[in-house]
Amino acid sequence: MGYSPPLGAPGSASGLQRGRAIRVLVVDDSLIVRAAFSRLVGAEADLELAAAVSTAEDALALLATERVDVILLDLEMPGMGGLGALPQMIERAREAKILVVSSLTADGAEQTVEALSLGAADTLQKPATGGFDQAYRERLLAKVRALGRRPLRRAAPAGQAAGSTPILRSPSRERAAIVAIGASTGGIHAIGQLFGALPTCLGVPILITQHLPASFIPAFAQQLREISGRPALPAADGMALLPDTILIAPGDAHLALAARPSGHVVRLDRRPAASGCMPSVDPMFASLADAFGAASLGVVLTGMGRDGSEGAQQIAQAGGTILAQNEATSAVWGMPGAIARAGLASAILHPRDIAGRIAAAVIARGA
C-alpha cells in the first residue's frame, strides 16, 4: 500500500461558512493544467479563481495588488521558477497558503521537500494524462478548502495558545526516554523550526511520522540531517533505536516498535489504520505507549484531520506526555487541534517552544 493522506479535516469549514469565497491563484506553465484547475475552482460556489498565470514573475506581480488565500504552485517553470520565487511569494502573499503541485520523480521530490521546508503548506502530485479523475478532484478540493480556512482566533505570540485556554494535562513525572513527532500539512516547515531550536545532543531516539509519499522520504531524511545535525534515516524492519538518531516512517508503512532482548527495534506495520493514513501517527504513538509507558513523549504538529488522537490517548493513559502546536502557527490546526480539544496536551506552543519543552523533559523531570 502506498502513501495515503488524510482527506477529512474536522473544522475545516468552507469559504462560504467564513462569509466569503476562498480566492485561489493557479501558477503553472502548462495551459492544460491551468485550464483544468481553473474550471475546477470556478465550478465551486465557495471558491473563487483570482487568476491563472504561467510564470512566477506574473504571480509576484499579481500578489502585489491582489489578495489570495491559496496558491496552486508548479515548481518547474521558465524564468525564476516556483522554487526560486517561493520566499518572495510567501512574503507578498502574507497569510496565503501554498500548495505545491509536483511530479513524484526523484528531482521533483527534492525540490518539493525544499519548497515545503521554506514554508509551502502542502503538496499534491500533478495528475498524469487521464489522471484528473473524480478522486483527484476531490482530494485537491479538500486540500484547498483546508488551507483556505481562516483561523477562528487572532494569532497569539509564540509560546502561547490562541483564544481561550484549553484544559491541559500534567506532564509525566518521568524523564522522557524517547521522542515521537507526528505531522502532516505544513509539517516539514514546522519540523524544521523545531529542530532548529532543539539541542544537538538529547541522548534519546527520535521517531517521525510525516505524511509524505515514499518517494519523498529520502529527500526529507537528507534535509533533516542538514537541519538537525543528527543521523536521519528512513525506518526499516529490525533497526535499533539509537540515541540522537532520527528514524522516519516510510511512505508505505507505519513506524511501530518491537521488543528484543537487546532492546526495542523498528517494526513496520502495513495494516490499515483507523485514520485512513499511510503512514499514520496513531500506530507509532500506540507502540510508544506500550514500549515506554510514562517515559513516552509525543509531539503533534500541524496537519489536516485527526491522525494521532487515538495514539495520543494511549500515551496519556500510560502516563506519558503530549505536546501540540498552537493554532496561530499551524498551516492547518486539525491534528493538534483535535489533541487540544480532547484535553490530551500538556502544552500548546510554537514549534520552537516545543523544542524547549522536549529538552526539559529529556534532561530533567517534567516538561
Angle, in degrees to the nearest 10, between helices 309-317 and 281-292: 10
Known catalytic membership, residue 133: no
CB 186 within 8 A of CB 122: yes
Known catalytic membership, residue 307: yes
- Rounded distance, CA 132 to CA 128, Å? 7
Which letter, b or e, does each residue of 61-96 get, where b requires 16 or more Cβ atoms within 10 Å of its Cβ? Answer: ebbeeeebbbbbbbbebeeebbbebbeebbebbeeb
Sheet strand arrangement including 47-53: 47-53, 22-27, 70-73, 97-102, 122-125
CB 219 within 8 A of CB 113: yes
Helix (H) or strand (E) holding 268: strand 263-269
> Where on the phi/psi map is residue 119: left (φ > 0), alpha (ψ -120 to 50), or beta?
left
Which letter, b or e, does each residue of 19-28 get, where b requires 16 or more Cβ atoms within 10 Å of its Cβ? Answer: eebbbbbbbb
* Residue tagged 510508544 (cell numbers): 288
Question: Of these residues, 12, 189, 211, 287, which one is catalytic?
Answer: 211
Under DSSP, the state recorded for 277 is: -
Closest by CA to 2, choosing from 219, 210, 213, is 213
Question: Of these residues, 4, 117, 184, 330, which one is catalytic?
Answer: 184
Helix (H) or strand (E) holding 51: strand 47-53
Which three cell numbers, joined as nine digits, stand for 102?
509536483
Known catalytic membership, residue 189: no
Closest by CA to 257, choosing from 278, 287, 282, 279, is 287
Question: Of these residues, 307, 309, 350, 353, which one is catalytic?
Answer: 307
CB 361 within 8 A of CB 298: no
Catalytic annotation, residues: 184, 211, 307
